């Protein structure tokens, strides 16, 4: 239910460069593998190969979390968040698009992840317009006591997947959540038909300028320390 606190996440993500020198969270370290970058800072961030990586520990009651990256498309997270309710973090890799929907010729993404069998989390794309009026979440898998904001809008097949769709508002922006009907750890998503379906078929938004395509792990609990690995991620087009 990331949408409840989406504005807080946006604000903190935007402030990340200024806050990156702040206090670190916990004393945990990145995996033993040799990474080109790692950070346990609450707002740790860097840019690699055209992608911006954020550690992004934003929720209350969070524990320790560290992010590592070999590139913008191969990275991972170790997180030890208590078994309590509420989202603790959304470590992610972001690609900037900055084009109106009607000006986007294609927008696709491929993902390959390794996620734990315990804990409470979702693996998701988080897509924003430049004004942060609309949030589009694409859940490719989830585990534990997590769920989307809003009410069910039925099921639709778009972009190479079948999704259960939810629509709601967190008081700051509209939220459209697409939950894959079965969990997947790898695949390709054609994002543009989803944006067009929201705009043209449902008329839930106009010709918005798509700002960011983020991909990451929305973690509610990972007690004892769990690893989330993005083996490969590519966002193409725009």
Positive or negative torsion for Cα 80, 111, 90, 153:
negative
Range of the domain at 42: 2-237
Let me know: does 67 contact 217? Beta carbons within 8 Å. no
Count how many domains the chain has: 1
Report the pLDDT averaged over residues 42-62: 97
* Residue 185 backbone phi and psi in degrees, to 5: -100, -5
For residue 71, give Cα distances in angstroms to 50, 98, 124, 233.
Answer: 10, 22, 19, 10
Residue 138 binned pLDDT confidence (cut-offs 50, 70, 90): very high
pLDDT exceeds cutoff 90 at 13: no
Domain at 142, CATH number: 2.60.120.180
Question: Which among 73, 69, 91, 68 is positioned nearest to 81, based on CA atoms?
Answer: 91
At 101-118, the pLDDT tens digits run 999 999 999 999 999 999
């Amino acid at each position: 239910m990331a949408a409840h606190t989406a504005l807080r996440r946006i604000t903190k993500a935007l402030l990340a460069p200024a806050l990156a020198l702040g206090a670190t969270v916990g004393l945990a370290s990145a995996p033993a593998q040799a990474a080109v970058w790692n950070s346990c800072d609450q707002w740790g961030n860097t840019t690699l190969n055209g992608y911006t990586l954020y550690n992004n520990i934003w929720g209350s009651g969070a524990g320790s979390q560290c992010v590592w990256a070999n590139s913008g498309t191969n990275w991972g997270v170790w997180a030890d968040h208590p078994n309590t309710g509420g989202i603790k973090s959304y470590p992610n890799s972001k690609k900037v698009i900055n084009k109106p929907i009607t000006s986007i010729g294609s927008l696709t993404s491929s993902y390959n992840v390794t996620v734990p069998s315990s804990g409470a989390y979702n693996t998701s794309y988080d897509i924003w317009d430049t004004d942060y009026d609309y949030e589009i979440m694409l859940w490719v898998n989830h585990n534990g006591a997590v769920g989307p904001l809003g009410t069910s809008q039925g099921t639709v097949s778009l972009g190479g997947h079948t999704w259960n769709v939810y629509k709601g508002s967190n008081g700051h922006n509209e939220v459209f959540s697409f939950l894959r009907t079965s969990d997947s750890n790898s695949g390709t998503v054609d994002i543009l038909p989803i944006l067009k379906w929201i705009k043209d078929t449902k008329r839930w938004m106009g010709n918005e300028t798509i700002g960011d395509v983020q991909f990451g792990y929305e973690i509610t609990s990972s007690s004892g320390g769990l690893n989330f690995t993005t083996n490969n991620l590519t966002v193409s087009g725009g």
